[in-house]
């Protein structure tokens, strides 16, 4: 039965991502909002639903190791594997706005979590509320940017081919539902399989669950890249990473304070280092290319070996 969950979950993720990218990119064109903004907000939130579900459920169940390691592990996977694979498949351009605003915000969010965890020894309710306030500020910034971009293109006379509005909504809502259900089925199946091998909550969270909950980001970004929605592909990765820390862990910590262990400190430091590496790759020519992707995938492979050995 657990193998059936895995296979059917993969199917739902792939089809859900396909529908969601079509619907959200059409909505972006209809509203004259840049795909980057859509990727940073709606798509990022939609594909992060599995992380939200897993981390909140783990927090309620008192499995703090699983909650934090799931969010941090997913972020490392998003950066090094999702963006890495997209870079291998095609040249991935990075908008100047992402370099000046979005990347620094994602690094600052991870650094803030590490600072609070190291200072208090846990992510308590104060930390959770602080992260949620920062998330509201981030959302305001994205909405403000969207309105500015819409006003800038208001005078455009070009006809934009896109799906009708009702169909956009159906595609987006149906896609989110399929992604959320598919992600949950994959996580449940993979977790059951992993548990039979006696893996710890931290290891399961950093590997199997992180991979499972990041599958929506992986599939959505690859589908977006193949459909030439390259801004949405990268926006989805960066937006999901910000969402996972500020909202997912903010909600989880507000519900139930979570101990921040030595392993959490190490993993979060690795996340910050990976973010800085990708940021440096992007700086010179504002794009990720084949060799960047190969390096990123190699780094993730090496880190995974370390996780199983520690």
Rg of the chain taking only CA atoms, in angstroms: 18
- Digit-by-digit pLDDT tens for the chain (310 residues) are 677 877 787 788 778 877 877 787 787 777 776 666 666 666 666 666 667 767 777 777 666 667 788 889 989 998 999 899 989 988 888 877 778 888 899 999 999 999 999 999 999 999 999 999 999 998 888 777 766 765 655 544 444 456 787 888 898 889 888 877 877 787 677 667 777 777 776 787 788 777 777 777 777 777 777 777 666 667 668 888 998 899 889 988 998 888 898 999 999 999 999 999 999 999 998 889 999 999 999 999 999 999 988 7
101/148 Cα distance (integer angstroms): 15
Encode 167-181 in three state secondary structure: HHHHHHHHHHHHHHH
Contact 38, 225 (CB under 8 A): no
The overall pTM is greater than 0.75: yes
- Look at residue 201 in the predicted model and tell me its pLDDT: 66
- 92 phi and psi angles, rounded to 5 deg: -110, 100
Strands (E), 160-274: 258-259
Q: How many other C-beta atoms lie within 10 A of the C-beta of residue 259?
A: 14
Work out the angle at residue 309's Cα, subtended by the Cα atoms of residues 308 and 310, and round it to the nearest 5 degrees. Answer: 100
Q: Which of 221, 263, 281, 273 is nearest to 39 (CA)?
A: 221
Task: Tokens 């790759």: give the residue.
Answer: 281
- 230 phi and psi angles, rounded to 5 deg: -70, -35
Eight-class DSSP state of 64: H
112/138 Cα distance (integer angstroms): 14
Residue 122, beta-bridge partner list: 259
CA dihedral sign, ordered 190, 278, 20, 255 = positive
- Look at residue 68 in the predicted model and tell me its pLDDT: 86
Eight-class DSSP state of 121: S
* Tokens coding 38: 């859509």
Strands (E), the chain: 92-93, 122-123, 258-259, 287-288
Strands (E), 190-284: 258-259
**Residue 140, class by beta-carbon neighbours within 10 Å (0-12 exposed, 13-18 middle, 19+ buried)?**
exposed
150/147 Cα distance (integer angstroms): 5
Strands (E), 38-128: 92-93, 122-123
* Tokens coding 111: 């650094």
46/178 Cα distance (integer angstroms): 10
- Look at residue 64 in the predicted model and tell me its pLDDT: 62
């Amino acid at each position: 039965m657990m193998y059936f969950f895995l296979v059917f979950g993969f199917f739902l993720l792939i089809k859900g991502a396909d529908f969601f990218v079509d619907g959200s990119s059409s909505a972006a064109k209809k509203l004259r909002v840049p795909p980057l903004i859509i990727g940073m907000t709606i798509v990022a939130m939609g594909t992060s639903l599995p992380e939200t579900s897993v981390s909140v459920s783990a927090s309620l169940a008192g499995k703090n190791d699983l909650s934090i390691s799931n969010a941090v592990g997913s972020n490392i996977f998003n950066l090094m594997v999702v963006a890495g694979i997209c870079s291998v498949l095609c040249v991935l351009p990075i908008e100047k706005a992402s370099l000046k605003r979005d990347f620094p915000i994602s690094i600052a969010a991870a650094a803030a979590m590490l600072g609070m965890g190291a200072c208090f020894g846990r992510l308590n309710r104060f930390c959770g509320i602080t992260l949620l306030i920062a998330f509201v500020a981030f959302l305001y910034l994205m909405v403000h940017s969207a309105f500015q971009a819409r006003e800038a293109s208001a005078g455009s006379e070009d006809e934009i081919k896109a799906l009708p509005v009702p169909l956009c909504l159906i595609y987006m809502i149906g896609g989110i539902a399929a992604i959320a259900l598919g992600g949950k089925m994959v996580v449940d199946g993979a977790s059951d399989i992993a548990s039979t091998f006696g893996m710890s909550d931290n290891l399961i969270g950093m590997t199997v669950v992180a991979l499972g909950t990041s599958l929506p980001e992986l599939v959505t970004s690859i589908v977006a890249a193949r459909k030439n929605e390259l801004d949405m592909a990268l926006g989805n990765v960066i937006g999901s990473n910000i969402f996972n820390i500020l909202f997912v862990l903010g909600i989880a910590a507000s519900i139930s304070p979570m101990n921040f262990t030595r392993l959490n400190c190490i993993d979060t430091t690795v996340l910050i280092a990976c973010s800085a590496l990708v940021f440096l790759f992007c700086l010179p020519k504002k794009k990720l290319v084949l060799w960047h992707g190969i390096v990123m995938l190699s780094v993730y492979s090496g880190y995974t070996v370390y996780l199983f050995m520690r």
